Amino acid sequence: MYKKLYLLLIIIVIISCKEEKKTLGNDNNPTEAKVNELLAKMTLDEKIGQLNLRGTSSRVKGGLSDELKQSVRDGKVGAFLNVMNTEYVDELQRIAVNESPNKVPLIFARDVIHGFKTIFPIPLGLAASWNAETVKESSRVAAVEASSSGIRWTFAPMLDIARDSRWGRIAESPGEDPYLAGVLGKAYVEGFQGDSLNDPTSMIACAKHFIGYGAAIGGRDYNTAIINKELLQNVYLPPFKAAFDAGSQTVMTSFNETNGIPASGDKKLLQDILREQLKFDGFVVSDWNSVIEMIPHGFAKDEKHAAEISVNAGMNMEMTSASYENHIKELLKEGKISEQQINNLVADILRVKFRMGLFENPNRDTNNSGDLYAKSHLELAKKAAIESSVLLKNKENILPLNKEAKVAVIGPLADKPREQLGTWTFDGDKTHTVTPVATFTKAKANFNFIEGLSYSRDVSENEFQKAINTAKKSDVVVFIGGEEAILSGEAHSRANINLPGAQEKLIKKLAATGKKIVLVIMAGRPITLTNIIDDVDAVLMTWHPGTMGGPAIYDMLYGEQEPLGRLPVTWPKTAGQLPLFYNHKNTGRPATSEEFVHIDSIPIGAWQSSLGNTSHYLDAGFTPHFPFGHGLGYTTFEYSDLKLSTQKLTDANTIEATVTVKNTGSKDGSELVQLYVQDVVGSITRPVKELKGFERILLKSGEVKNVSFKIQVEDLKYFNSDLKYGVEKGDFNIWIGKNSAEGLKGSFVYE
Ligand code: BGC
């Protein structure tokens, strides 16, 4: 009896928690009642104040100005970004909650993108881990560290699907695949926000940039995106949906226009899609000045017009520019916007502040030291760097290295504490970074170090001879190069994505010594390697690996650990192939190796049609250098016996697809088994393959394991041209394998 009552009580609690989100506007809902009560007391000026995201470190340098303090006292600021002096944080919050008319607390925000003090691999690197648990744990560490400085809101995760490696912000992205991005997006939100929003170490997440920022034409940052409605639904929105379903409290509008409408003024996007379809119930923040950037976009005629458009679109909080502050009153008088709209915008923000527990507990938790650079944080950062590193090539198993071998460590990034942290690491202290050279030294490895080039863009050949001499005296060369941190990230797109400076030249000279070469790359994007791939024996991509990149690289090179990463983006042979992604459409004339004739093999005087007419480049072909999902370890695996429990899928059943995987190498190792599906015929054409699942397995040498995936109707749904979400009857192919280009194939029918 008691048991039953207890169960009933639990059910009621669960339902009422769910209801809290659903019944916004209902006075029976405690949070909603508080929001309404507060709103009723607020003046228009205070309401407008809540819509302001103000302040940068530069604005408060040299002490908080009286003017700034007064605006908080008057309730004219809703949140601050980049106030990194904890005394200022405490002082501003003290004024807000003691001296402002309605004592509404502030939120302090910061770009805590891949760690606060302890820096984890860049997000594209973390995506290569394909490990939601690692992403969640690293985000939790970031939140614990950052909240000790009073930061309770991060502008992350960035969930822009990125299919063009020229785009500098690909470094911050989860890569090209919506399924993987969704899995990781959820993990980021759970990690940043923690178990409860009102925990003092919880940092509210901000899914960004909504929407299509990664689809910038030509990979040029801030550029126009043209995305048809089905692509938007099937590719660009799913990672955001996953973040909202996980409870992300905020979302940031993107700088770009999509199909002619800048995101900060896109009413259909911010209302029909965001609120109605995706059921987002937090608040929207603009990107930096993106409201007033609608003027150069040619969408608003002046600042006042920009404010009118954004308010009408439902954009809640304006970052840095002040069009709301300057013009809302006038717009209200003119009837261009209504007080009800302002109330709604403010209510969305207050609701989040209540959920964060800021009214009861506004102050920075001084008991939370943040455990900055704690041993456990550093261990996690090292683990993440190993999980993120992708072994692209390993000829004749040159890796792992023999500890006895004499190693020449050469290259501009072998000992660059700041550079290996990567983009968006304002708070990471380089004195805590452990570089590869520092690690080799500490481990008393058998090595000599000479940079050869002093930074990644260096073109001076002055040190080449010394580097060559060092190589000659060694058994193997480990060249650690790539891109300095500044070469990727916001507004850092590149048209040519080869190794910059004279790195290729130096690698070729080192190769001419006849020594084996292991290339370790630190970079914010895939780097085209076509010019040097035959000169090097192994390639280990570590992205920008973060604080513990050195120890991670050391362990991987010497085989203490195998690299575990798999590519979250397709790796091109040349930038001319971009944009490039595995889940493309087939076209009416898909390329095949039989029909492909390379430019150098075309007979002189060949007839126009004699080469076959398929979709490819004469010089770069149609395949990437390395496919999405690719990554080697230190052992080999064989896949066999793909079996489907049934070849008929209905609404009532599921298919279990099982494959046998054997570790055929002499070392124990881990494999990331990937499942891809193709909907063969659709009412709109469907991608050649789509990732639908993955599982990491550990196998001892010689061990055999079966890996199974369940396929259900839900996994096959997509938005058709009427934007109906569903699955269409017909044939499907599936592949299970080690990357998007290989795998055992099966098929089934959905009836
Ligand atoms: C970036 C955002 C970032 C914001 C605040 C902008 O330039 O696009 O991603 O969160 O600045 O720093």
Q: What is the DSSP string of 422-460?
A: -SS-SS--GGG---HHHHHHHTT-SEEEE-SSSSTT---
Q: By three-state DSSP, how is residue 408 classified?
A: strand
Give distance in angstroms: CA of 309 to centre of ligand 1: 21
For residues 705 and 660, the answer to whether their CB atoms sit within 8 Å is yes
Distance (Å) from CA 288 to ligand 1 centroid: 6
**250-253 sheet: strands from edge to edge:** 206-210, 250-253, 283-285
DSSP 119: P
209 CA: nearest ligand 1 atom = 9
Residue 40 has which token pair?
Answer: 């009723």
Report the pLDDT value the prediction gives residue 61, as an integer from 0 to 100: 59
Helix axes 464-472, 503-511, angle to 10 degrees: 30
Q: Comparing C-alpha atoms, which of 620, 515, 641, 624 is closest to residue 569?
A: 624
Cβ(355)–Cβ(282) below 8 Å: no
In the reported structure, the alpha carbon of residue 495 is separated from the centroid of ligand 1 by a whole-number distance in angstroms of 22
Q: Which domains are seen in the chain, by residue range?
A: 637-750 (2.60.40.10)
Query: Is a pLDDT exceeding 80 seen at residue 379?
Result: yes
pLDDT, average across residues 253-277: 98
Ligand 1 centroid vs 348 CA: distance in angstroms?
21
**Encoded tokens for 272:** 């029909």
Which residues face 640 on adjacent strands? 660
CA 27, CA 34: separation in Å to the nearest integer? 9
162 CA to centre of ligand 1 in angstroms: 17
Ligand 1 contact via 490 beta carbon (within 6 Å)? yes
- Residue 720 near residue 666 (C-beta atoms within 8 A): no
Ligand 1, pocket-test mutation among 111, 159, 250, most atoms within 8 A of CB: 111
Task: Tokens for 486, please give them.
Answer: 């500044």
The stretch 189-212 carries a mean pLDDT of 98
- At residue 19, the pLDDT reads 39
CB of 622 shorter than 6 A to ligand 1: no
What residues act catalytically?
287
What's the rounded mean pLDDT across residues 705-709?
A: 98
Nearest to 92 by CA among 341, 364, 484: 364
Residues 6 or more apart in contact with residue 47 via CB below 8 angstroms: 39, 342, 343, 346
Residues 96 and 103 sit within 8 Å (Cβ to Cβ): yes
Cβ of residue 288 lying under 6 Å from some atom of ligand 1: yes
Using CA positions, which residue lies closest to atom 5 of ligand 1?
A: 288
Give the residue from 481, 531, 538, 542 showing the smallest Cα distance to 508: 531
Within 10 Å of residue 375's Cβ, how many Cβ atoms? 8
Q: CA-to-CA distance for 274 and 282, rounded, in angstroms?
A: 10
Query: Residue 610: its pLDDT value, please?
Result: 81
pLDDT at 617 over 80: yes
- pLDDT beyond 50 at 22: no
| Average pLDDT estimate for 289-294 | 98
pLDDT at 530 over 80: yes
Q: Which residues pair with 250 in a beta bridge?
A: 206, 283
- The residue nearest atom 7 of ligand 1, judged by CA position, is 288
Contacts of 722 by beta carbon, 8 Å cutoff, 6+ apart: none
Say if ligand 1 is within 6 A of residue 111 CB.
Answer: yes
Tell me the CA–centroid distance for residue 484 and ligand 1, in Å: 20
**Site to substitute for ligand 1 among 213, 264, 288, most atoms within 8 A of C-beta:** 288
Query: Which of helix, strand or coil describes residue 663?
Result: strand
Looking from the CA of residue 255, the nearest atom of ligand 1 is 8
Q: Has residue 715 got a pLDDT over 70?
A: yes
Residue 101, CB-side half-sphere exposure with 13 Å CA sphere: 17
Closest atom, ligand 1, to C-alpha of 172: 9
Ligand 1 mean position, distance from CA 72 (Å): 23
Model confidence pLDDT, tens digit, residues 544-562 = 999 999 999 999 999 999 9
pLDDT, tens only, 37-58: 999 999 999 999 999 999 765 4
Confidence check: pLDDT of 63 > 90:
no
Query: 239 vs 229, 244, 246, 274, CA distance in Å?
Result: 16, 9, 11, 13
Reduce the DSSP state of residue 48 to 3 states and report it.
Answer: helix
The pLDDT score that the predictor gives to residue 56 is 63
Share above pLDDT 90 across residues of the chain, in percent, rounded to a whole number: 93
253 Cα–ligand 1 center, Å:
10
Ligand 1 pocket mutation, candidates 222, 285, 287, 291, criterion most atoms within 8 A of CB: 287
Indicate if the pLDDT at residue 470 is higher than 90. yes
3-state secondary structure of 84: coil
Q: Is 287 in the pocket of ligand 1 (CB under 6 A)?
A: yes
- Whether the CB of 230 sits within 6 Å of ligand 1: no
C-alpha 251 – ligand 1 centre gap (Å) = 12
> Is pLDDT at 105 greater than 80 in this prediction?
yes
In this predicted model, what pLDDT tens digit does every residue of 576-605 receive, in sequence order? 999 999 999 999 999 998 888 899 999 999
Please indicate whether residue 628, judged by its CB atom, sits closer than 6 Å to ligand 1.
no
User: 178-193 and 238-245 helices cross at what angle (nearest 10)?
Assistant: 30
- 750 has a pLDDT exceeding 70: yes
Q: What is the mean pLDDT of the chain?
A: 95
What does the CA dihedral 266, 272, 277, 279 come to, rounded to 10 degrees?
Answer: 80
Tell me if 554 CB under 6 Å of ligand 1: no
* Residues 211, 206: Cα–Cα separation, whole Å: 13
Render pLDDT for 212-244 as a digit per residue (tens, 0 to 9): 999 999 999 999 999 999 999 999 999 999 999
Return the minimum-mean-pLDDT range out of 29-33, 315-319, 325-329: 29-33
Q: Give, for ligand 1, the residue of 58, 84, 151, 490 to mutate: max count of ligand atoms closer than 8 Å to Cβ.
A: 490
The residue nearest atom 11 of ligand 1, judged by CA position, is: 288
Write down the residue that tokens 């001499």 correspond to: 469
Inform me whether the pLDDT recorded for 7 exceeds 70: no
- Give the pLDDT score at 340: 98
Residue 5 in this model has a pLDDT that exceeds 60? no
pTM as predicted:
0.95
Report whether 239 contacts 182 (CB < 8 A). Answer: yes
Expressed in angstroms, the distance from the first to the final Cα of the chain is: 46
Q: Is the CB of 208 under 6 A from ligand 1?
A: yes
Question: Is the pLDDT reported for residue 16 higher than 70?
Answer: no
Q: What type of residue sits at position 80?
A: F
- In this structure, the residue with its CA closest to atom 6 of ligand 1 is 288
